Amino acid sequence: MSQKVGLVGLGSIGHPLAVNMIAKGLEVHGFRRSSMAEFEKAGGKPAASPKAIAEQCDIIAMVLPGEDETEDVLFGANGILASGRKGLVIIDLSTYALADKEGYAKRVAAAGSCMIDAPLSGVPSMVAARNGIIFASGEKSAYEASKHVFDAMSDKAFYLGKFGDGLKMKFIANTLVSIHILAAAEALALGVKAGLDRDTMVKVLSPSAGTSLQFQVRAPLMMKKQYEPVMAPTSILSKDVPMFVEFAKAMGASTPLLEVAEQFYTRALGTPWENKDVASIIELYAQDNGITI
């Protein structure tokens, strides 16, 4: 069992994953385009490129924004497969279109390695507390060979079966996330309009029957207009929700709530809130109702 593991993408999700793995005794070789000072301070080993990581590690996890970044990290001139090594297990923790992910997996297999589809669900604080949910799917033997890495990243890693089922589960999870955030924003905006005290709403509603994890995490931010530091930018859901809608249509499923959510997240593009935390979506409700948040 190799105690070396690579991690490409050391942002708000990748960094706490790296810290978790280091705490479990793994030697983590990491790469990101920007500063790796915090990663090195936590005990990680900065690498010059994904290729350099693949030259050292048999198991490599990726936490990347989307298809373009994944393409480059896997197949670019300084990408993982440029190392020429075979038999690698590449854990893809990112969320993007299923057809693209399946295509990458085939190209990785043709190069003699294996890719596991393993999108992660959770805000940074959940990940840091080892409560991020990992939906793993793909070749069972590759999952078992890398299970110690999954267990080091989170206490809540699940194997779901054939490749792509993890991503499908993430789509379902994020359907709930996107709707719950909007429900929190709509309810709180209504409460402000009704003259209720903001802090009291957060305090009373957080443990109520109407709560959700997204309410508990983002209601305080909404009521304080605290949209930075960014846990997840609005632009992520603006990109992802249309993908969830298309997935549902391909299944022949009706998703009226998700389609309404798509309208709100699409409206946020090009606004000052696009690159702020998604809690800022409440500003659209405020704008529509003449409310000052």
Q: What is the pLDDT of residues 43-69, one digit of tens each?
A: 999 999 999 999 999 999 999 988 999
Dist CA 142 CA 135 (whole Å): 14
- Give the pLDDT of residue 123: 87
Question: Exposure string (b/e) for 104-125, b if CB count within 10 Å is 16 or more?
Answer: bbeebeebebbbbbbbbbbbbe
Query: What is each CA distance from 240 to 58, 68, 183, 190, 232, in whole angstroms?
Result: 31, 15, 18, 27, 12
- 190 pLDDT more than 70: yes
> What would the DSSP string read from start to end of 47-113?
-SSHHHHHTT-SEEEE--SSHHHHHHHHHSTTSGGGG---S-EEEE-----HHHHHHHHHHHHHTT-
When pLDDT is cut at 50, 70 and 90, the band that residue 29 belongs to is very high
CB 59 within 8 A of CB 5: yes
For residue 165, what pLDDT band results from cuts at 50, 70 and 90? very high
Confidence at residue 176, expressed as pLDDT on a 0 to 100 scale: 97
Q: DSSP letter at 117?
A: E
Higher pLDDT, 269 or 293: 269
User: What pLDDT, on a 0 to 100 scale, did the predictor assign at position 102?
Assistant: 97
Residue 2: pLDDT over 80 = no
- Alpha-carbon distance 253 to 249, whole Å? 6
- Sort strands 120-121 and 133-136 into parallel, antiparallel or unpaired: antiparallel
What pTM did the predictor assign? 0.92
Average pLDDT of 287-293? 91
How much of the chain, in percent, has pLDDT values that exceed 70? Answer: 99
The rounded distance, in Å, linking the Cα atoms of 202 and 29 is 41
- pLDDT, mean over the chain: 96
The answer on pLDDT for 1 being more than 70 is no
pLDDT tens track for 202-223: 999 999 999 999 999 999 999 9
What average pLDDT does the segment 234-257 reach? 95
Q: Which residues contact 16 (CB under 8 A, 6 or more apart)?
A: 124, 127, 128
Angle formed by the axes of helices 165-193 and 282-289, nearest 10°: 40
Amino acid at the residue 264: F
Distance CA 66, CA 88 (A): 21
Query: Any idea which residue has 């992802």 for tokens?
Result: 240
DSSP assigned state of 120: E
pLDDT in tens, 127-145: 999 999 999 999 999 999 9
Nearest to 116 by CA among 145, 99, 95, 137: 137
Under a CB-based contact definition with an 8 Å cutoff, are residues 83 and 54 in contact?
A: yes
Where in the chain are the domains? 4-163, 167-289
The residues, any chain, with a CB within 8 Å of residue 23's CB and separated by 6 or more, are none
- In this structure, whether the domain defined by 167-289 belongs to CATH 3.40.50.150 is answered with no
User: Of the CATH numbers 3.40.50.720, 3.90.1150.10, 1.20.120.1750, 3.20.20.70, which one belongs to the domain with range 4-163?
Assistant: 3.40.50.720
